[in-house]
Amino acid sequence: MTQAEEQSFQHVYRLYRVPLHRYLARRTGDDSEAADLAQETFVRMYEKRVQPETAKAWLFKTGYHLFVDQWRKKRRAVHVPLDSIPDMPMLDASPEGAAVGAELRKEIRQALDQLKPRDRQVLLLLMNRGLTYKEIAEQIGVTENAIKTLVHRARKRMRELLEAR
C-alpha cells in the first residue's frame, strides 16, 4: 500500500470509527461485540483497498453483513444448560476406577485411529495442544473457516464412533 493510500485509510478510519462502532453497538447491544465487528470491518476495508469516496457506505453495509452473519451463527448455536449435562463418572483410585479409565482411554484412542489423518490431527491440535482455530489454520495452511468445518465434522464422526461402541 502506498503512503497516500495509507494516509487515506487512516483518515477514513478516524472519520468513521466512532459512528460505525455506535451503529454496531445499537445492533448488537454489546459494546465489545460491536468493537470486534467494527475492527473486522476496517480490516476488510484495508484488505480490499476501498476508495475513500465509497468508504462510508461500504463500511456500514459490510458492518451490517458481519453483524447478520454473527447473529445467524449465534442463533444456530445450541445452548445446553450445564446442569442438564450428565456428570462424567468419577474415576477414583480404586482398581475399578482405574479399569474404567483405561477402557475409556482405549475406546477414545480406537475412535481417533478410525478418523481421517487430517481430522485426527486437527482434533489433537485443538484438544491436546490447546491451539486456537486461527493457529491451527496457520499451521495446516487452510482458512480458519475450513478448520471450523473440519473440527465440526471430526467431532461428529468421533461421537458416532463412540456411540457405536
Verify that 59 and 10 share a domain, yes or no: yes
State if pTM tops 0.75: no
Domain end point (choices 58, 76, 94): 76
Q: Are 64 and 27 in contact (CB under 8 A)?
A: yes
Output the pLDDT for position 76. Answer: 65
Report in angstroms the alpha-carbon separations of 10 from 6, 64, 75, 88.
6, 21, 35, 53
Give the number of domains in the chain: 2
Output the pLDDT for position 90. Answer: 53
Domain of 21, in residue numbers? 3-76
Verify that 8 and 60 share a domain, yes or no: yes
DSSP the chain: --HHHHHHHHHHHHHHHHHHHHHHHHHHS-HHHHHHHHHHHHHHHHHHT--TTTHHHHHHHHHHHHHHHHHHHHHHSPP--GGGSPPPPP--SSHHHHHHHHHHHHHHHHHHHHS-HHHHHHHHHHHTS---HHHHHHHHTS-HHHHHHHHHHHHHHHHHHHHH-
Output the pLDDT for position 71. Answer: 85
The enclosing domain of 142 has a CATH number of 1.10.10.10
Residues in the chain predicted with pLDDT less than 70, given as ranges, are 76-93, 165
Verify that 69 and 118 share a domain, yes or no: no
Q: Are 91 and 100 in contact (CB under 8 A)?
A: yes
Verify that 65 and 129 share a domain, yes or no: no
Domain end point (choices 35, 60, 76): 76
Backbone angles phi, psi at 17, to 5 degrees: -60, -55
The enclosing domain of 8 has a CATH number of 1.10.1740
In this structure, what C-alpha cell is assigned to residue 162? 463412540
Verify that 125 and 64 share a domain, yes or no: no
Can you give the length of the chain in residues?
165
Verify that 71 and 108 share a domain, yes or no: no
Output the pLDDT for position 65. Answer: 94
Verify that 108 and 59 share a domain, yes or no: no
Output the pLDDT for position 163. Answer: 83
